[in-house]
Every structure is written in structure tokens, then in C-alpha cells.
Amino acid sequence: MRRFREYTKIFLPAGAFFCLVLVLCSGCTSVVQPPPVIVTPSPPAVKDGDGSWMEVPLTDLQGKGNFSIRSFAGKTVILQVVSDACPSCVSQLSREIGEIERIPGVQDKSITVVALDIDQPGDRGFIAKYHDQFNFSGYTARSPEGMTLQLLNNKGPFAVDTGSIPVILICPDGHEVLLPPGFKTTDALQTYRAKEC
């Protein structure tokens, strides 16, 4: 037993020292591997001015049938992008729709108004939830996922950021303009129309 204690006094510290040297050496000699590269496919590029998003088939939520923005060629179209993803924006969006409805050309149907709901599939959506509040007389549709992406790529983030109250003006000649972010009065909308179209 005495001999065992003598060996323990010698070999235990020597073994611990040897294990410590192995651990330190293995850390110093290991090769650092770079993190793996994760490749995510990027959305197809849509050239600025590419109006392919206007060709996307839409279905009116009020039963007026199928249409596309391009189907109104030769007329001025005011496209209001809406969503209930921003609860604090709902009152501003419905107020903006009210301003659009007061434009004289909307009343006599020489201007077509479209409310495009970009809520996620499966969500009831802005138009379904708030239709009765603003008594909208124009066309209403849910944006297919690809169309929302095309708007984002074509017009930038403000086109699909409902907090910025996006309005896109499409002139009779097909020229399209994303109006500046923020609330726009009836007078401002008429000024933009006169200037751009």
C-alpha cells in the first residue's frame, strides 16, 4: 500500500501535466475552419421600369371579375397598396383611400382605383377586415406572392411598406410612378396626376 502511495504522488501530477500539455497542444495545432457558406437563391431581377407586375392576373374581391393593372390601359390608375400587418397604419390607409375617392375623376370613372392587399396568404387581409369602414368603390384584390416581390424589386421597399402609405400612379400611356411616402391629400394626388401624366 505504501508503494502505491509513492507511485500516486509521482504519476498523478505527471499524468495531469501530460493531459494538460495534450489539451493545450491540440488547441494550438488545430486548423480553424471557415464557417460554411449558405447560398440562398436571390429573387429574379426586375429591371427598373419593367412593368411586368402590371400583367399579373388578379381577382376582384367584390365580385367584379378578373383583371390586371394592364387591363386598364388608356386610363389613369391609382393603385393603393394596403395591409393589416401594420395595425397603427390602418386608420391612415383608410383615410388615404377616402382622399383618393374624392378625386373628381374617380367619381365619373375616368380614373380607376385599385386597392391591392399584400397580406400573407391565409390571413383574412386588410380589405376583408376593413371594407365596410371605407365603402370602397374601386377594384380590390389580394396580391399574389410573386407580384408583391416584383413590386418590391421594381419600385423599392416603399412600394410594399404600408407604413409609408404607398400609392402608385399609372398613367394612360403606361408610365408608372411610386408617389412619395406619407399621407397624400386629394389636392396633392391631383397635382401628382397633372405633373406625371
Q: Are 141 and 128 in contact (CB under 8 A)?
A: no
For the whole prediction, is pTM greater than 0.85?
no
160 burial type by CB count under 10 A (0-12 exposed, 13-18 middle, 19+ buried): buried
Question: What CATH number corresponds to the domain at position 99?
Answer: 3.40.30.10
Q: How many domains does one find in the chain? A: 1
Convert the pLDDT of each residue in 29-69 to its tens digit. Answer: 444 444 444 433 333 333 345 678 889 999 888 788 899 99
Convert the pLDDT of each residue in 139-186 to its tens digit. Answer: 888 888 788 888 888 888 888 888 888 899 999 998 899 999 888 888
In a domain, 35, yes or no: no
Type of residue numbered 72 = F
Task: Please state, in angstroms and rounded to a whole number, the distance separating the CA atoms of residues 147 and 82.
Answer: 14
In a domain, 113, yes or no: yes
Domain that holds residue 88: 52-196
In a domain, 101, yes or no: yes
DSSP state of 87: G
